[in-house]
Amino acid sequence: MSGRKHIVIIGGGFGGISVAKKLKKADVDITIIDKNNHHLFQPLLYQVATAALSPGDIAVPIRAILGKRKGLKVLLGKVTGVDKNEKFVSLESGQKVSFDYLVLAPGAQYNYFGNDDWKRYAPGLKSVGDALQIRERILLSLEKAEQLEDPKLREPYLTFVVIGGGPTGVEMAGAIGEIAKRNMMRDYNTFSKNETRIFLVEAAPKILNGYPDSLSERARETLEEMGVRVLVNTPVTDINHQQVSFSEGAIDTPNIIWAAGVAASPLLSSLETEQDRTGRVFVNDDLSIPGHSDIFVIGDAAHKEDENGNPLPALAPVAIQQGEFLGTSLQNEINKKERGTFYYVDKGTMATIGRAKAVADIRGFKFSGFFAWILWSVVHIFFLIGFRNRFRVFVEWMWHYFTFKRGVRLITDRFSKNEERDNS
Ligand X SMILES: Cc1cc2nc3c(=O)[nH]c(=O)nc-3n(C[C@H](O)[C@H](O)[C@H](O)COP(=O)(O)OP(=O)(O)OC[C@H]3O[C@@H](n4cnc5c(N)ncnc54)[C@H](O)[C@@H]3O)c2cc1C
Known catalytic residues?
Answer: 171
Footprint on residues 65-104 left by ligand X (CB under 6 A): 78-79
Angle at 159 between CA 155 and CA 162, to 5 degrees: 165
3-state helix, strand and coil shares in percent for the chain, rounded to the nearest 5: 40, 25, 35
Beta bridge partners of 82: 89
Residue sitting closest to ligand X (CB): 13
**H/E segment holding residue 176:** helix 167-178
36 binds ligand X (CB under 6 A): yes
Q: Which of 5, 16, 102, 211 binds ligand X (CB under 6 A)?
A: 16
177 binds ligand X (CB under 6 A): no
105 binds ligand X (CB under 6 A): yes
Report how far residue 223's alpha carbon sits from residue 305's, in angstroms, rounded to the nearest whole number. 33
Smallest distance, Å, CB 33 to ligand X?
5
Torsion of CA 112, 115, 119, 125, to 10 degrees: -10
43 binds ligand X (CB under 6 A): yes
Q: Which of 7, 15, 101, 139 binds ligand X (CB under 6 A)?
A: 15
Closer CB to ligand X, 143 or 276, in the complex: 276
Closer CB to ligand X, 154 or 380, in the complex: 380
In sequence order, the 6+-apart residues with CB closer than 8 A to the CB of 161 are 198, 199, 201, 244, 251, 253, 255, 256, 257
Spatial CA neighbour of 96 closest among 33, 13, 157, 53: 33
34 binds ligand X (CB under 6 A): yes
Closer CB to ligand X, 136 or 156, in the complex: 136
Closer CB to ligand X, 26 or 358, in the complex: 358
57 binds ligand X (CB under 6 A): no
Output the DSSP codes for 196-245: -EEEEE-SSSSSSTTS-HHHHHHHHHHHHHTTEEEE-S--EEEEETTEEE
CA separation, residue 324 to residues 1, 286, 287, 330, 337 (Å): 25, 12, 12, 10, 16
Footprint on residues 284-343 left by ligand X (CB under 6 A): 299-301, 314-317, 319
Query: What mask, x for binding ligand X by CB under 6 A, covers residues 192 to 231?
Result: ----------------------------------------
Closer CB to ligand X, 16 or 254, in the complex: 16
Q: Which of 22, 23, 42, 244 binds ligand X (CB under 6 A)?
A: 42
Tell whether the torsion through CA atoms of 238, 239, 240 and 245 is positive or negative: positive
In sequence order, the 6+-apart residues with CB closer than 8 A to the CB of 81 are 89, 90, 267, 270
Closer CB to ligand X, 28 or 48, in the complex: 48
Closer CB to ligand X, 157 or 342, in the complex: 342
Smallest distance, Å, CB 207 to ligand X?
15
Contact 90, 83 (CB under 8 A): yes
Relative orientation angle of helices 387-403 and 370-383, to the nearest 10 degrees: 150
Q: Which of 5, 7, 9, 14 binds ligand X (CB under 6 A)?
A: 14
Smallest distance, Å, CB 2 to ligand X?
24
50 binds ligand X (CB under 6 A): no
Smallest distance, Å, CB 243 to ligand X?
24
Smallest distance, Å, CB 379 to ligand X?
9
Residues near ligand X (CB under 6 A): 10-16, 33-36, 42-43, 45-46, 78-79, 105-107, 125-126, 167-168, 265, 267, 299-301, 314-317, 319
